[in-house]
Amino acid sequence: MTEDAAHRGSGAISRRGLGRGAMALGGALALASVPFAATAAGTSSGAGAGGGPGGPHRPTLRRGTPARAGLLAPHLDRLVTDAEAFLQPSPRHPWYAGAVLLAGRGGTVALHRAIGKALRYSAYDETTDTAVELPEDQQIPMREDTVFDLASVSKLFTSILAVQQIERGTLELEATVASYLPEFAGAGKQDITVRQLLTHTSGFRSWIPLFKEPTQEGRLRLLWNEVPLNAPGTRYLYSDLNLISLQLVLEKITGRALDVLLHDEITAPLGMHRTRFNPPAEWKPRIAATEDARLPWSGLDRGLVWGEVHDENAYGFGGVAGHAGVFSCAWDLAVLARTLLNGGSYGRARILAPASVELMFTDFNTDFPGDEHGLGFELYQHWYMGAMATPRTAGHTGFTGTSMVLDPTTDSFLIVLGNSVHPVRSWRSGSAPRAAAADNMARAVPVRPARGRTAWFSGMTNATAATLTLPPLGPGAGRLRCSLWWDTEPGADAVLLEASADGGATWQPVPFVATGPDGTARTHPAGTASGWSGRVWHAVEADLSPWREAPVSLRWRSATDRLYVGRGVYADGLRVEDASGRRLFDESRPSDAARVQATGWAPSGD
């Protein structure tokens, strides 16, 4: 089962309506510059322009304090505390036996922590839905350098290898897969393109049991004969078959096996020495165990899977597959994250050009809102990215309990590696530990007040209506002015400006205009804002003339649903003027500030 299928089967459907697209011009892509490359270079010592062999260094990773990374330590501490809670029943069984957490910003890794056990159970008892726990002296604690079966996070490596070939001109993004693999054209697949494989819009169903065929020829025959569920490009449907097909293309055009490509083109240049397919036997004590794999919940009777790939199809391919099979540790994945945030280079090594990296952070699925996708990387997915999610936040999850998230907006990255199918896949559901870790990581990135020492902050709590109410103002109110910063789950959570002329018994929306730092003004006629605002302060003005003849109360209301949250809402510099510009209320005056009623909002001096 794929991670995406498990998520969607849980009913936790993320709701987003925003996205960024690549513009197709005569089959070529018009690409913007890579803003995060320059940002990354400016956030770490030793950074500079360039980055090719023999050129200046790009930021490389070093351990450091949260302050050095520009992060708030209490929220990183909370990240660990929240992660540890999932070692206990959540709600019935632990979500994972253990995990490794890594978080950083710029070139600084500010958090690297291991919790729980890499090996805890010897088997699963399906009759009692309990685990057979190993004696304490045979259990293995999780370590910072524990290696994990990444499951579908492996897709990112295959995608990077494909983008490398696109950059070199040996692979065409809009070419049909059949132009490289003629046998692929069977069963109506002749029009599927390389781009559709990378963005899961090929029409393939999510999964078929290729492992049941004992030979490579038989597995390929199943793929060649597979009939797409949908016409290419008409629907988003996450499928392992896309990356398995892409593996075959890469091996055909390069003449090298995928494991050789991984080593030669990514892990060796970047020094990722704990990342590979099919880890050797001597690695086993340092590898996190996965599932007691037996029928009927697994496709194969293998017993405790430990040190070899968990995914059945990858196992059928000998452990080397485009969709699963890569093993790695948190530090190596952080190196990869830093490389991409650097625009494709790490130290003096470069594996991609900045414009190629941009392909991974650009939404190609603008026709499928909610399923934003770069080449290989998922974008803007609150269900596991939590409050780190932005239209350019990229990442992926793996069914074994793994994930990585890269936010170029804040130059930050988060790795969560858990062995959540140990002892059995049915013990966990959803993605709560990942979203909780991402929420805490996002909160650790400070938002500085627009003016003064503090601003009002709505918090980041689910299923909450927080209100920030100004004191009642007498007749004559003409205009509200303030600064507003918001980032909420699009279409689900919002901030609303409201007015009451009857002492708070009823409230009406107040239209407002928000002007960003670039001078762009946007009208909010319904008095509400939702989604992505660029994580920058906006100057807000609202016309209060409809309430000029009577006393009026004003409030900002932040409303969240029960699923996911964004980074929240901040308000600062609140003031109300009459028609002549005289200030009827000014938050900078202590006497006025003392009269603000805050329910759920609190002063924040991030």
d(CA 547, CA 501): 7
What's the pLDDT tens digit per position in 363-383? 999 999 999 999 999 999 999
- Cβ atoms of 420 and 563 within 8 Å: the answer is no
Look at residue 374 in the predicted model and tell me its pLDDT. Answer: 98
d(CA 343, CA 231): 34
- In 260-408, which ranges are E strands? 276-277, 292-293, 303-304, 326-328, 345-346, 349-350, 378-379, 394-398, 402-407
Query: How much is the average pLDDT of 1-25?
Result: 36
For the chain, give the percent of residues with pLDDT over 90: 88
- Cβ atoms of 386 and 433 within 8 Å: the answer is no
pLDDT band at 1 (very low <50, low <70, confident <90, very high): low
Residue 31 in tokens: 């690409």
The label of the residue with tokens 């089962």 reads 1
In 3D space, the residue among 382, 437, 384, 307 whose CA is nearest the CA of residue 15 turns out to be: 382
Name the DSSP class of 288: -
Which of 22-26, 472-476, 572-576 is least confident? 22-26
- b/e string for 130-165 if b means 16 or more Cβ within 10 A? ebeebeeeebbebeeebbbbbbbbbbbbbbbbbbbb
Report the chain's mean pLDDT, rounded to a whole number.
Answer: 91
The DSSP annotation for 456-471 comes to EE----SS-EEEEEPP
d(CA 78, CA 84): 10
Task: Please say if the pLDDT value at position 96 is more than 50.
Answer: yes
Reduced to 3 states (helix: H, G, I; strand: E, B; else coil), residue 190 is coil
**What distances in angstroms separate CA 192 from CA 179, 184, 294, 368, 560, one per listed residue?**
10, 9, 35, 17, 40
d(CA 243, CA 249): 10
Task: Please say if the pLDDT value at position 57 is more than 60.
Answer: no
- Neighbour count for residue 236 (Cβ, 10 Å): 20
What's the pLDDT tens digit per position in 525-569? 999 999 999 999 999 999 999 999 999 999 999 999 999 999 999
Look at residue 20 in the predicted model and tell me its pLDDT. Answer: 29
- Cβ atoms of 167 and 202 within 8 Å: the answer is no
Residue 448 in tokens: 């500085």
d(CA 569, CA 541): 17
Name the H helices within 115-193. Answer: 154-168
Name the H helices within 14-153. Answer: 35-41, 66-69, 73-85
Task: Please say if the pLDDT value at position 406 is more than 80.
Answer: yes
The label of the residue with tokens 């002329």 reads 501
Task: Please say if the pLDDT value at position 14 is more than 50.
Answer: no
Reduced to 3 states (helix: H, G, I; strand: E, B; else coil), residue 347 is coil
Query: How much is the average pLDDT of 495-502?
Result: 96
Look at residue 3 in the predicted model and tell me its pLDDT. Answer: 59
What's the pLDDT tens digit per position in 306-323? 999 999 999 999 999 999
In 3D space, the residue among 576, 527, 60 whose CA is nearest the CA of residue 335 turns out to be: 60
- Cβ atoms of 320 and 278 within 8 Å: the answer is yes
pTM score, whole prediction: 0.90
Look at residue 2 in the predicted model and tell me its pLDDT. Answer: 58
- Cβ atoms of 240 and 299 within 8 Å: the answer is no
Task: Please say if the pLDDT value at position 402 is more than 70.
Answer: yes
Residue 603 in tokens: 């002063």
Task: Please say if the pLDDT value at position 51 is more than 50.
Answer: no
Query: How much is the average pLDDT of 104-115?
Result: 98
φ, ψ for residue 372, nearest 5 deg: -60, 140
**For residue 11, what are the contacts with CB-CB under 8 A and spacing of at least 6?**
none
- Neighbour count for residue 364 (Cβ, 10 Å): 24
- Cβ atoms of 259 and 324 within 8 Å: the answer is no
Question: Which strands form 276-277's sheet, in the order they lie side by side?
Answer: 148-149, 326-328, 276-277
Name the H helices within 267-365. Answer: 268-270, 312-316, 330-341, 354-360
Rg of the chain over CA atoms, in angstroms?
Answer: 26
In 3D space, the residue among 191, 167, 163 whose CA is nearest the CA of residue 179 turns out to be: 191
φ, ψ for residue 29, nearest 5 deg: -110, 130
- b/e string for 177-206 if b means 16 or more Cβ within 10 A? bbebbeebbeeebebbbbbbbbbbbbbbbb
* Run of H or E residues at 317: none
Task: Please say if the pLDDT value at position 38 is more than 80.
Answer: no
Look at residue 59 in the predicted model and tell me its pLDDT. Answer: 80
d(CA 492, CA 547): 29
d(CA 73, CA 62): 17
d(CA 410, CA 443): 11
**What distances in angstroms separate CA 68 from CA 62, 65, 106, 538, one per listed residue?**
11, 5, 9, 28
- Cβ atoms of 253 and 261 within 8 Å: the answer is no
